[in-house]
Structure 1
Amino acid sequence: MQQTIDSLAYQLSSYLEPTHINLVRRAYLYAEQAHDGQKRRSGDPYITHPLAVAGILSGMHMDHQSLMAAMLHDVIEDTGIAKQALGEQFGETVAELVDGVSKLTQIEFESQAEKQAENFQKMTLAMSKDIRVILVKLADRLHNMRTLGVMPPDKKRRIARETLEIYAPIAHRLGMNDMRIEFENRGFSAMHPLRYKRLKAALQSARGNRKDMVEQIQQVLQKRLEDEHINALVIGREKHLYSIYTKMRSKKKSFKEIMDVYAFRIIVDSVDTCYRTLGAIHNLYKPIISEFKDYIAIPKTNGYQSLHTVLVGLHGVPIEVQIRTKEMDEMANSGIAAHWLYKTNDNPNTSQMRARQWVQGLLEMQQRAGDSLEFIENVKIDLFPDEVYVFTPKGKIVELPNGATPVDFAYAVHTDVGNACVACRINDRLAPLSQPLQSGQKVTIITAASAQPNPGWLNFVTSGKARSAIRHFLKHQRHHESVELGRKLLTRSLAERGVELQSLDKEERKNLLKEAGISSMDALFEDIGLGKRLPNAVANLLDSDGRKASAPTTVIIESHDGMMISFARCCRPIPGDPIIGHFSAGKGLVVHHDSCRNVTELRENPEKIANVTWSPNVKGEFPVEIRVEVESGRGIIAALATRITEQHANIEQIQVHERDAHNSVINLTLDVSGRVHLANIIRRLKSLRSVIRITRHRN
């Protein structure tokens, strides 16, 4: 039966004042007029949708402004009415809520994914001002999912996928379990209708067989608690279809294996009774220690609290038990909405505080992301619910996604700590930065003022915050370095023509930018630094009489680090080698050994070649490959490694190829500071009796 405005007003009278109900009614009449003549795909008048959304929110006991926004939520998007007009009619707050839920319709997007990402980004900004935006949006999506049947199959699947990927995890993140379950089951039914039907039928037939067993265990638990004078409600808990499906897929388990576990919830009156109940049932059946989780002492990110334990019942039947208070149960089912649903005089509940922190984190990520697609990718990573809980050295708990590493921890503490991180201690022992963390560990981050993020971290970090912060830093660094390199190269090219870059007046710079067809000097420097433009060609734009340079530009290499000067892997040049550089689009300046085969072809384009030379004080370590022919014997690799480390060099890689029964070839990649360092290493290795010949690999 469809809801009418009168039946909604009657529902609202249980918790709203008459003046507020009249405002909701006024918003309804305004929306009815605005949507006049519009129909839904089912053929119903369009106004039935906003009315149903307001009905869902009234079930959460939402305030009158949220209900007014629900009535008007499609007015900006689907009718000609502007946000300003709504503000004048219903106040600024309601207009902001409606605008936050409205999609971007005026902009043309290249793809559906980009459209979805941009809309989510817009909603995030609105959520950061008012958290109610997301509740109106979730109610809107819930009603759309309930009426999905009339949609064409491809649109149905697209909406279902978006619901499963974004809206169900958001409902979970906000602790709204009832809504999440409905999203997941309806999304599953639309995405995979046949699988849904098969599982539903299997669940119904299994339910009959399980009924006696569930009642038997329930009675035993209830009796034990009565004997201990504990007043509790014991409820048999059923897994919902989508959770059965995901468990079957992720844990590679059969339907029978999942249904063999019996789940119960015990609701008591106080936190103290929760722990007494736990003691009583652990005395009744033996617990599986590794499965015990105390979410009362350490709540989940979304504010969820409960004690979880798994017992081994009669005939080895596994029994999952959740123990919580009535308030915790309400919070677990309604989450952030519990604040409105169970009106209390205290401050906003923990679920709301955590929701605000989460939205604040989203806002930080959004500011750092390069574009909306990167932002939504980071958000999806952060929505996955499994967490690990680790401790700072001062005992503060930090929540991280499952599989998180010390680098994720460092960024969770503060972006600056992440950027300056060089090493870590887990439980006071040195550990690799890529090691996955486990709950209960104490993590200490070691920082250095000169340190900076390593691009390799992107291969193992799991949290959206770490990923977006590293990418942001690298992008900024790449831009900064390419501008600096471009400025150096152009300065030298102009100097050879007797022109100083600093002495160019405003008019000359303006003409240069016009000739180059670019907006700013920094953008021009960046293009030169990235190898997209050649410094000589840009200098020629200024040099009107077309004089050619008297000598090619020389670039001095001062260190191995830097994103815009890279060293060719084909020949691996090291300080002391004769070298040559060439400009490669997007990579900047690539340095080769002067005798490298690949440079032969490049010399045919002299304008792309740069003269490069080593600085007398070049810093850093450079990889080099050597080929060592040895007589096979026990301990030869250990002997080589000892000699190399004595010379303060690192071994990056070792490959061993057996030539025959007596001889082997060992390819080593070492980090050295230059040719002199390499010569010392080779001299030490040649003094080993087993070494036949050593050659340096060059292309």
Structure 2
Amino acid sequence: MVYVENQVPETDTRADPEAWIARIGHRHSGNELEVIRRAVGLARRAHKEQIRASGEPYLTHVIAVADILAGLNLDHESLGAAILHDSVEDSDLTLEEIAETCGPGVAHLVDGVTKMRIIGDYQKELGDSSKESARAESLRKLLLAMAEDVRVVLIKLADRLHNMRTLKHLPEEKQRRIARETMDIYAPLANRLGIWQVKWELEDLAFRYLDPITYRQIARFLRERRVDRQRYIQNVIGVLEGQMTEAGIKADIKGRPKHLYSIWKKMQRKGLGFHQLYDVRAVRILVDSVAECYHVLGIVHSLWPHIPREFDDYIATPKENMYQSIHTAVVGPEGKTLEVQIRTWDMERHAELGVAAHWRYKEGRKQDQNFEQKIAWLRQLLEWKEEEGSAGDFIDRFKSEVFQDRVYVLTPDGEVIDMPQGATPLDFAYHIHSEVGNRCRGAKVDGRIVPLTYELHSGEQVEILTTRHGGPSRDWLNPHLGYLKTSRARSRIRAWFKQQDHEKNIADGKTALDRELHRLAVSDLDRLKLARHFGLQQVDELLIAVGRGDINTAQIGHAVHHLTRREDETDTLAPVQRRKGAKGGDIHIRGVGNLLTNMARCCTPAAGDPIVGFITLGRGVTIHRRECSNILNLPEEKRRRIIEVDWSASEKNTYQVDLEIEAVDRQGLLRDISTVLANEKINVLTTDTRSDKHRNTAKMLVTVEITDTNQLSRILSRIGQLPNILEARRRTR
């Protein structure tokens, strides 16, 4: 069995539900225990003939789920609902019967858990644009249920945790699907609600099935060094206990459990090996007050030198789920790195239990502020639903708020702003106010000018530089350029463009569309087809949508790629034959067997371009773009040698394309262009640069290998944003 240092063993609740009720009985009154017993009775009836994949009676699962919630100190209604959470879906038991037998509170929770099955549907449908609106509305209903009573989420999380503990009994394909769903949805939800003990175990169990080789390597690394690490930690604890006693501080000091997925994630994020990790050796110090936390921090830093950039004060700046603690890394005894976490007992309780702590400590309290803050984001999401311009925006914001890490930056006045990881100064500007974003022309981070595409980091102070007049740029909406991370900023920019004059939007849209098609060297695209690709009926509607920012140039590039692929799917010619091993890429030649093909040098077609084949004498078929001048000007007697060809479905081939770049000449121009291409992992075949000293301009011809016109659109956009670039386009011959 693979060693997992921190894995929580599955509690043995299978033998006798009555024994389990007796074990938790001291936490509940007689009436509360009676509700739980009645729930067990209903569950026995509902699941009496059902067997799990492990061969155990289904009742063992629902009792195990309830036991996980008992460990989180949830109330008796939650335990009763956990025992019945699958009964309505999987049997003839009704909510009315549950309400009559166990009370309306239990029935309400069971109903909420049943509705939360929509999470799985959401995951399965990701990327299906035809279902986007329905999915957004389902998410809104899910959030509403969570905001009304967040216990339904806790029951669902406990259900998933027990399923993950017993995942080994399922087929491998199903293991990976469930593990991926757990990592993408359930672990982030547990984190967002502050329930760290559930989050860590979900992540480790999912990691075990998603990447078993790496999982075993890290587990073996921890196991091999366990004895040495425990000896080292005991020595550190002894030193710290002596210092605490001398300072008159009552503290509990213990080694911190290790989580395999967090170790792997840190290795990936920082590019570190096992031996370079700071927190493989770690201790946690628990004290009574915040003042003592900082006193202890001073003691730790006086004992051992701290490691720069490895200090986080989450007491002064709590995480979005209200997690509070001080984290520091020091060079400890024997010159080994050591992580130290310092927090109060109350912070420890809320770190481990999150919103679940609310039910244990709510007695006698009018309001639990920590609880209210932890679920405030749910209510915010419901309010934002009214702001968003489309279902896609709402889904993007949901994913941003729930499934991404956060950064905490400061305004010039010292106010802490919580943003998604990867947010830019422009996102920050729109977070402050729409007008600040619209008039933004630059930004300073910690006093230095940075580009608007700069990625913000926690602790940085951001100042936005604005102009008196003006508005946003349409380039800000282009995802290829990296100006924006948040859907909130994008929706505000689109709202600004929608308010502009109708005729101006048509003119601006035509300019933007013409520029993009010119850059891609696409001259014969049916614009009505392009409009209908976006669900619009008229070309003017397309121009207005482009003009006001509803459709950006990246989307146009993607649509061009889609529309210039094979258009005659209903062609009744013989089945497509796939050419293998020929020079130049994968081509379908209709109605004939395999033929040698070559890419024409006159027009250098790339995947996604509309193409035709020309049968040569002795050199097979030459592939040309349809609008190639050599093809258009063929004499009539040679036109009979043109044949229909298509790109295959393969995405692994690359195609040569010539880029023409015109710029005001400056030092470092070629380097900057090369950097853009290198960052996009574009292979450069040749470069030819010619400078005009009189006009102080430079013209460059760069031959590159690309995979499709989508990629071409992206690199042209990014090159076009470089300083001094006048135009970047695809060359036609």
1:18 corresponds, among 18, 30, 33, to 30
Q: Distance between the aligned counterparts of 2:41 and 2:338, measured in 1? A: 53
Which piece of structure 1 moves more, 2-11 or 352-361? Answer: 2-11
Paired letter, 1:76: V
Matched-pair contact (CA < 8 Å) for 1:285–1:311: yes
Task: Return the letter of the residue paired with 2:289.
Answer: S
Q: Which moved more, 1:25-34 or 1:408-417?
A: 408-417
CA distance in 1 between counterparts of 2:202 and 2:120 reads: 29
Distance 2:119 2:334 in 1: 63
CA distance in 1, matches of 2:123, 2:323: 37
Aligned twin of 1:2: 13
CA spacing shift, 1:213–1:430, aligned 2, 3 Å: closer
Normalising by structure 2, we get a TM-score of: 0.63
Q: Which residue of 2 aligns with 1:335?
A: 354
Structure 2 counterpart of 1:456 = 476
CA contact (8 A) 1:234 1:267 kept: yes
Name the CA distance, whole Å, in 2 between partners of 1:660 and 1:452.
34
Determine whether 1:49 maps to 2:69: no
Say if 1:55 and 1:107 are closer, same or farther in 2 by CA, change over 3 A.
closer
In 2: Cα distance, 1:167 partner to 1:559 partner: 37
Equivalent residue for 1:161? 180
Alignment equivalent of 1:98, drawn from 110, 115, 133: 110
Give the whole-Å Cα distance in 2 for the aligned partners of 1:307 and 1:481: 53
Quote the residue 2:689 is aligned against: 657
Structure 1's unaligned 5+ residue stretches are 487-523, 533-556, 568-583, 587-596, 603-624, 638-654, 669-696
Q: How does 1:92-171 map to 2 (within 5 A)?
A: 93-102=105-114, 112-114=124-126, 118=135, 122-171=141-190
- For the 8 Å contact 2:422–2:455, the answer to whether it is kept is yes
- The equivalent position to 2:310 in structure 1, one of 291, 304, 321, is 291
Is 1:528 matched up with 2:550?
Answer: no
Q: Which residue of 1 aligns with 2:234?
A: 215
1:25-40 equivalent positions in 2, closer than 5 A: 25-40=37-52
The offset of 1:137, in angstroms, is 1.0
1:391 aligns with 2:410: yes
| One of 322, 328, 342 as aligned partner of 1:323 | 342
Q: Deviations over 1:102-146 (max 9, x none)?
A: 258899979934499947664323112221121111111111111
- 1:417-462 Cα shifts (integer Å, max 9, x gaps): 6567565554577654322334344435548787357463445779
**Partner letter of residue 99 of structure 1?**
D
| Counterpart residue number, 2:698 | 666
CA distance 1:286–1:418, change in 2 (3 Å): same
CA deviation profile, 1:209-242 (whole Å, cap 9, x unmatched) = 3333222222222222222232222212242222
Offset at residue 663 of structure 1 (A): 10
Asked if 1:257 is matched to 2:268, the reply is: no
Query: How big is the shift at 1:7?
Result: 2.8
1:669-684 to 2 correspondences below 5 Å:
none
What is the 5 A alignment of 1:364-379?
Answer: 364=383, 378-379=397-398
Separation in 1, partners of 2:336, 2:661:
62
Q: 1:236 to 1:194 in 2, by over 3 A?
A: same
Distance 1:565 1:319 in 2: 51
* Distance in 2 between residues matched to 1:176 and 1:663, nearest whole Å: 65
- Counterpart of 1:34, as a letter, is A
CA distance in 2, matches of 1:321, 1:15: 34
Q: Distance between the aligned counterparts of 2:463 and 2:550, measured in 1? A: 33
Tell me the CA shift for residue 207 of structure 1.
Answer: 0.9
- How far, CA to CA, are the matches of 2:344 and 2:330 in structure 1? 20
In 2: Cα distance, 1:528 partner to 1:361 partner: 37
For residue 13 of structure 2, give the secondary structure of its aligned residue in structure 1.
Answer: coil
Q: Which moved more, 1:234-243 or 1:134-143?
A: 234-243
1:269 matched to 2:301? The reply is no
Give the whole-Å Cα distance in 1 for the aligned partners of 2:86 and 2:173.
23
SS of equivalent residue, structure 1 residue 14: helix
Letter of the 1:470 counterpart: R
Q: Could you say which residue in structure 2 is the equivalent of 1:647?
A: none
Corresponding residue SS for 1:275: helix
1:161 CA displacement: 0.9
SS at match of 1:290: strand
TM superposition shift of 1:282: 1.6
In the TM superposition, what are the counterparts of 1:586-601 in structure 2 within 5 Å?
Answer: none
Report % sequence identity. 37
Partner of 2:89: 77
Partners of 1:109 and 1:340 lie apart in 2 by 30
In 2, Cα distance between the equivalents of 1:72 and 1:483? 60
2:522 counterpart residue number: none
* Residue in 2 that maps onto 1:224: 243
Q: Give the conservation status (yes or no) of the 8 Å contact 1:410–1:418.
A: yes
Cα distance in structure 1, aligned partners of 2:87 and 2:326: 45
Q: CA deviation at 1:402?
A: 3.2
Whole-angstrom CA distance in 2 between matches of 1:219 and 1:246: 31
Asked if 1:183 is matched to 2:206, the reply is no
Higher mean C-alpha displacement, 374-383 vs 196-205: 374-383
* 1:553-592 aligned within 5 A: 561-562=547-548
Query: Deviation digits for residues 490-540 of structure 1, max 9, x if unmatched?
Result: xxxxxxxxxxxxxxxxxxxxxxxxxxxxxxxxxx995224568xxxxxxxx
Alpha carbons 1:484, 1:525 under 8 Å: kept: no
The answer to whether the 8 Å contact 2:358/2:371 transfers is: yes
What's the offset of the Cα at 1:64? 2.4
Instruction: Give, as a single letter, the amino acid of the residue that structure 2 aligns with 1:32.
Output: R
Q: Deviations over 1:459-480 (max 9, x none)?
A: 577997x225525864996799
**2-structure distance, mates of 1:418, 1:83:** 50
Moved more, 475-484 or 227-236: 475-484
2:210, 2:200 → 1: CA distance? Answer: 15
> Quick one: distance in 2 between partners of 1:423 and 1:411?
13
Quote how far apart the aligned CAs of 1:154 are.
Answer: 0.5
> 1:600-637, CA deviations, whole angstroms, 9 ceiling, x for partnerless residues?
999xxxxxxxxxxxxxxxxxxxxxx997999xxx99x9
Give the corresponding residue for 2:726: none
> Could you say if the C-alpha distance between residues 530 and 482 of structure 1 is closer, same or farther in structure 2, counting changes exceeding 3 Å?
farther
Alpha-carbon distance in 1 for matches of 2:552, 2:59: 62
| Change in 2 beyond 3 A, CA 1:369/1:460 | farther
Q: Which amino acid aligns with 1:23?
A: V
Give the CA RMSD over aligned residues.
4.9
* C-alpha distance in 2 between matches for 1:243 and 1:435: 26
The runs of 5 or more residues in structure 2 that have no matched partner are: 1-11, 507-533, 554-561, 565-625, 633-659, 670-686, 701-730
Count of aligned residue pairs for this structure pair? 543
Following superposition, the deviation at residue 166 of structure 1 comes to 1.6
Note if contact 1:339-1:348 (Cα within 8 Å) is conserved in structure 2.
no
1:385 & 1:161 partners in 2: Cα distance? 16
Partner of 2:707: none
The structure-2 alpha-carbon separation of the partners of 1:474 and 1:663, relative to structure 1 and needing over 3 Å to count, comes to closer
Q: Tell me if the contact between 1:530 and 1:564 (Cα under 8 Å) persists in the aligned partners.
A: no
In the alignment, the residues of structure 1 paired with residue 232 and residue 56 of structure 2 have an alpha-carbon distance, to the nearest angstrom, of 46
